[in-house]
Amino acid sequence: MAIVSLPKINHVRAFTVRGGGADYHDQGEGHWIDNHIATPMSKYPEYRQSRQSFGINVLGTLVVEIEAEDGTIGFAVTTGGEPAAFIVEKHLARFLEGRSPTEYEKIWDQMYFSTQYYGRKGIVVNAISGVDLALWDLLGKLRQEPVYHMLGGAVRDELQFYATGARPDLAKEFGFIGGKMALHHGPAEGVEGLHKNIAELAEMRERVGPDFWLMWDCWMALDVDYATRLAIAAHELGLKWIEEAISPDDYWGYAALKRNVPKGMLVTTGEHEATRWGFRMLLEMDCCDIIQPDVGWCGGVTELLKISALADAAGKMVVPHGSSVYSYHFVITRHNSPFAEFLMMHPGPTEVVPMFHPQLIGEPVPQNGRLKASALDAPGFGVELNRDIAMQRPYTH
């Protein structure tokens, strides 16, 4: 029997999109995800109310398209906007065009090490991630297989989700296994702010009862002392984990916080770490109980496989940052990813709506806080690009 040889890659294209999308994208006025969330910029009063005021949405969306010789197109959506589009078109495309889509290991290696002198984390790895995700989508479409089949298949029948948003009480009604809230007050608001945080948690605990998971996402806003005091005060309210409390570069601080928090409370890091080397540092310095790479930012699926294996060997969980189908196809195949995050992108949030709206068509959303593996049974990541949205191609090559 002849070996199947897939058509070669013909074109790589990078587009930018404004408006909608998931986190770090343009959100309308009054959206919970931009309402006085504590950040490293909260020490500046003028930037305290809105993350868009200091530019969280400045990059915008990156759409990467990879077209094979037979016209099949794989694509992916991530964050990066024009700078990432420039890197894809002017630098990364050369490592894909004319190559087989099955060479995703060598392609990843060449993308990473050819940009290492100016990349390694952040927007360059976002761009690499977007290309890698589009490559896996193309592979799936050419092979007529969902990505999760190519990653080893489902290890459980369904995904279960916790919800990130301002209404864990509604998340409980919607069937989610827990609710993660954004922390609203950071150290610059002093002990008064800390008491407000605790009061908000106490009020939500009252609404959801004693056993529903409640977590805080602190979006890099705190220092070790404040995070320790907050964790101790929140322990009696059953805070399940304190997330990304300090700077992603402060591995030493995370290790200290993990030693400081009350027994039974988990410490997690966040979506702003990248590559196997960054996550190895978190694991080897015993910084956390759960790592949370964003598959659209950490290096893509090819890199997340390596990151996850490191965590598995260290006995740590991997719960990728909310990135819709791009993480669902991964989580369903990993024993050390027992649940997934669903980012509530409805402004309230009072409804369960697709995360990457309007960019993706066919994006599955959890029903009763769960998604059957069969909901992912479509080629690639199982979604199509909404070609009615205004996309620009700022650069060509």
Ligand X SMILES: C[C@H](O)[C@H](O)[C@@H](O)[C@@H](O)C(=O)O
Q: Which residues are catalytic?
A: 321
Kindly give the interhelix angle for 301-313 and 275-284, rounded to the nearest 10 degrees: 20
What is the footprint of ligand X within residues 118-177 (CB under 6 A)?
Answer: 164
Which of the ranges 133-141, 200-208, 241-249, 377-385 carries the binding residues for Mg ion, by CB under 5 A?
A: 241-249
Cα 48 to Cα 335: distance, rounded to the nearest angstrom: 39
The nearest distance, CB 245 to Mg ion, in angstroms, is 10
Q: Is 184 in the site for ligand X (CB under 6 A)?
A: no
Contact 184, 203 (CB under 8 A): no
Q: Is 273 in the site for ligand X (CB under 6 A)?
A: no
- Positive or negative torsion for Cα 355, 358, 359, 360: positive
25 appears as a binding residue in the annotation: yes
The nearest distance, CB 168 to Mg ion, in angstroms, is 15
What is the footprint of ligand X within residues 84-113 (CB under 6 A)?
Answer: none
The nearest distance, CB 270 to ligand X, in angstroms, is 5
Count CB neighbours of 368 within 10 A.
Answer: 11
Contact 248, 220 (CB under 8 A): yes
29 appears as a binding residue in the annotation: no
The contact pattern for Mg ion, residues 353-382, with x = CB under 5 A and - = no contact, is ------------------------------
217 appears as a binding residue in the annotation: yes
Listed in sequence order, the residues at least 6 apart from 302 whose beta carbon sits closer than 8 Å to its beta carbon are: 104, 105, 108, 132, 136
Contact 150, 6 (CB under 8 A): no
Cα 72 to Cα 304: distance, rounded to the nearest angstrom: 25
Among 119, 270, 299, 354, binds Mg ion (CB under 5 A): 270
With CB under 5 to 8 Å by kind, the binding choice for 322 among Mg ion, ligand X, none is ligand X
With CB under 5 to 8 Å by kind, the binding choice for 164 among ligand X, Mg ion, none is ligand X
In order, the DSSP letters of 210-221 are SSSEEEEE-TT-
Judged by the rule CB under 6 A, the positions of this chain that interact with ligand X are 23, 33, 37, 164, 182, 217, 219, 270-271, 321-322, 341, 343
Residues in the annotated binding site for substrate: 25, 51, 341
